[in-house]
Chain A
Amino acid sequence: MLRHRAKLVGQINALLMFLPYLVLLVMFAIVPIVMAFQVSIGPSRLSPEGGIGNYMFVFQDFRFLSAVGNVALFLVIYLPAMLIVVAGLSLLLDTIKMKYTLPLRLAYLVPAGISGSVAILVWYFMLEPTYSPFAGIFAEFGITEGVEIFNTSNLVYIFALMAFFTGAGNWIVIQYGSLQSIPDEILEAARMDGANVFQMAFLIKLPLIRKYLVYMLILVFAAGLQIFVEPYLISSSVYPGLAKDWSLNQLSYTLAFLGSNLGAAMALSMVMLLVSVVVALIIIYRTDFFDEARLKVKDKK
């Protein structure tokens, strides 16, 4: 009887501790999804009956396919660049003795300060030959005018460059951190077996941090899918309309606030959210990232 009561008190206290987070979770993740879903299947100007009309409208919109293409190409450039550079440089850093690389690691963290709207600002000046410290390099390629760089066919590379520089440095440092967690015995054993630096890096260390690299790619993919601020700001200032409705989130924004078609905007948001949730579920159930976290919960029970 007494034990039963203690258990109940324990559960109530646990709930009280969890409650503030639960409220935020319900308010700012679950309710918005439910409401947005209702709007997406509710009646709208284009689909008075409701149902899947808004979804069909989005899929048939000519801007949708081109935005999908843009974002896909962006990811195809950005993800491999991240993987190669982050894996390569973190392995290099790890191969060289730690105390000498501190200034390098700090330098790699510097671009993290240049993200979001600041990234557009800075990269605009970096790529505009009139201002750029790299003007000499551009001149070598015969580029002297900003319009030669800022044009529709280059946009995807420009956005990939911005995204790459914002994130690569701190991921290098994070993956370098993962490399530090490899037990010394493993590395010592490999060294005893006569492995050289390259074999150590590619056959021993790389496979051991592989899952962290995959995890990085998945997070980077999920965030890259949502790209908005870069194309939006470029289009609303320096080069008006240059990247109009370039990304999926831009299209969703345009539908909601400029096309006053909230239903279609929410339909598009729902589709993008669904992709992210599916990716999340794959990581949780199809990879072993969170196995330990999940096992711990089972242990308790």
Chain B
Amino acid sequence: MSTHSTDQKQISKVSPKTSTLVRARGYSAKAAAWLVMILFAVFSIIPMLWLVLAPSKTQVELQRDAPLSFGSFQGYRNAWENLNVFQDGRIVDWIINSIWYTGVQVLVACAVAILAGYALAATRLPFRKTMLIVTLVAMIVPQVAFVLPLFVEISALGLYNTAWAIILPGSFYPFGVFLSYIYFSSTIPAELYDAARIDGSGDWGIFFRVALPLAGGLIGMLAFFSFQVNWINFFLPFVVVSSGDVLTLPVGLGILFSSTPALSPQVGANALPIRAPEIALAGMIVAIPILIVFLASARLLVRGVLAGSVKS
């Protein structure tokens, strides 16, 4: 304490001139900090802003007008109608597929992960440690690494080119199991499980009446991550499915790249009315749901995905 007060005395002895200097330096440092942060924010927003504005314009307007200008709402309708010319409205199939595949994946992945995480955290599961280590390994290895090996199995099972070839592997969600294991073993106090057990609840009773009602935040986090991964997944559907009517939106977007004049002038400019505004609209349909989910979950991310789950 005494050293602290001497410090203060010393500070007060500093001449007024230097203290203004220090303050001025503080202000300019602060201004520089804000500038850096704002610039990064601007660069973060521009690509998305462009993507949202592009379909409002015609191909000519896109090249002629200011890049971030707005065309008209009619532009979106025209782009949508043109997009539908591709293989008789194939885009609608892709949208529907993406929605229901991702829906099933999120539901199954969350249900499976919650049960497994709870089993690891609060029950007498045999080989718990081995299972936890295997889960950690599977969680760190990126899912893309499994895709080509999966192809061999999917073909052998006769699932090639079916919706299940995408949905089932996408429901395997080791990160979710780990998150829910951490949640059930640290956020919920163990005494709560014990109390329920003493009250005569069985294993399933404790899960449904004690653990599950307290898992709201966990379910939000699990749904967020599994949606994000599955909605945008490219490599898995690309490898295990080949026909247009089973594909998903992100892979469909890739097909539009290579088989329309939008990004491949060599395809022939008159072949299809699909140019930059149309392909931007398709991209926008993929991007907007992710954007909404991310912004809505901003609080979850800040609350510390790592701090909460990988805490030391």
Contacts and interface: CB of A to CB of B under 8 A. Distances in A.
A32 B47 contact: no
A211 interface: yes
Contacts of B178: 293
Given A125-B276, A211-B312, A109 B294 contact: yes
A180 B251 CA distance: 38
Interface stretch (B12-20, B79-87, B108-116): B108-116
Interface stretch (A45-53, A63-71, A72-80, A262-270): A262-270
B153 A279 contact: no
A56 interface: no
Contacts of B308: 181
A214 B62 CA distance: 42
Contacts of A107: 41-42, 44-45
Interface in A96-136: 96, 101, 103-118, 120-126, 130-135
A35 B148 contact: no
B148 A212 contact: no
A88 to B, nearest CB: 8
A111 B44 contact: yes
Contacts of B312: 211, 288-289, 291-292
A64 B198 CA distance: 62
A180 to B, nearest CB: 6
Interface string B32-68: 0110111011111111101100100000001100011
B148 A253 contact: yes
B137 A280 contact: yes
A54 interface: no
Given A35-B156, A226-B142, A226-B145, A173 B301 contact: yes
Interface residues of A, number: 121
Interface residues of B, number: 116
Contacts of B239: 253
User: Taking chain B's interface residues, is the majority helix, strand, or loop, or is none over half, making it mixed?
Assistant: helix
A293 B132 contact: yes
Contact of B148 (A108, A110, A126, A252): A252
B45 A17 contact: no
Nearest to B289: A113
B152 A11 contact: no
Contacts of B233: 116
A290 interface: yes
Interface of B: 4, 7, 29-30, 33-34, 36-38, 40-48, 50-51, 54, 62-63, 67-68, 111-113, 115-116, 118-121, 123-126, 128-129, 131-142, 144-146, 148-153, 156, 168-169, 171-174, 177-178, 181-182, 185-186, 202-204, 207, 228, 232-235, 239, 250-251, 253-254, 257-258, 263-264, 266, 276, 279-280, 283, 286-288, 290-291, 294-295, 298, 301-308, 310-312
Q: Report the 5 A-B pairs with minimum CB-CB distance, sorted nearest first.
A: A36-B149, A21-B116, A14-B123, A113-B291, A181-B307
Interface of A: 7, 9-11, 13-15, 17-18, 20-22, 24-25, 27-29, 31-33, 35-36, 39, 85, 88-89, 92-93, 95-96, 101, 103-118, 120-126, 130-135, 165, 169-170, 173-178, 180-181, 192, 194, 197, 211-212, 215, 218-219, 222-223, 225-226, 228-229, 232-233, 236-238, 240, 249, 252-253, 256, 262, 265-266, 269-270, 272-273, 276-277, 279-281, 283-284, 288-294, 296-298, 300-301
30 contacts: A10-B124, A24-B172, A29-B146, A89-B40, A103-B41, A104-B41, A105-B298, A107-B42, A110-B45, A113-B291, A114-B47, A115-B232, A116-B232, A117-B253, A118-B253, A121-B263, A121-B283, A122-B48, A123-B47, A134-B46, A165-B43, A177-B301, A194-B7, A197-B29, A222-B142, A228-B144, A276-B142, A292-B311, A293-B181, A294-B133
